[in-house]
Amino acid sequence: MPPPEVAGWQLAAVAWLLDQCPADYRLYAAWRRHPIVLAWLTLRHLEGQLATMRLAYRGLRVDLAEQVSADALTDVLEVLAREGARLVEVRRSASLVLEAMEGKVFVPRL
């Protein structure tokens, strides 16, 4: 994604934000007309997904131990951990996009 000082950067940001949301979000023109609202909503959506992944990780062994083999539990817990880590990274990126849309100026550090 281009940096905020590049003209038209919000078009790329909107496309990326929509990629992080349910596919049906692309049906609503309001998100494209109001990118800051899309960024805000995307961040909330990602936070909800992350909370769900954490609940699933904590509850999987308790809720499904009798229905799923130990190998399957291990396999699924690994996938949940990877997906949780991915969501943390994407949430951080979405947060930075929202801050840029709000006008925050980023200063590179040496």
Average pLDDT value over all residues in the chain: 94
User: In the chain, pLDDT over 70 holds for what percent of residues?
Assistant: 100
- Please report whether residue 83 resides in a domain: yes
Whether residue 4 is contained in a domain is answered as no
Does residue 28 sit within a domain? yes
Question: Which helix (DSSP H) or strand (DSSP E) does residue 81 occupy?
Answer: helix 70-101
Span 10-26, pLDDT tens digits: 999 999 999 999 999 99
Give me 76's structure tokens: 């699924």
Is the model's pLDDT at 108 over the cut of 80? no
pLDDT in tens, 35-88: 999 999 999 999 999 999 999 999 998 999 899 999 999 999 999 999 999 999
What's the CA gap between 21 and 51, in Å, rounded? 15
Instruction: Note the pLDDT of residue 95.
Output: 97
Range of the domain at 40: 9-101
Cβ atoms 52, 60 nearer than 8 A? no
Confidence of residue 1 (pLDDT cuts 50, 70, 90): confident
Number of structural domains (the chain) is: 1
The whole-angstrom distance between residue 58's C-alpha and the CA centroid of its chain comes to 20
Instruction: Report the distance separating Cα 18 and Cα 13, nearest Å.
Output: 9
Question: Is 84 a domain residue?
Answer: yes
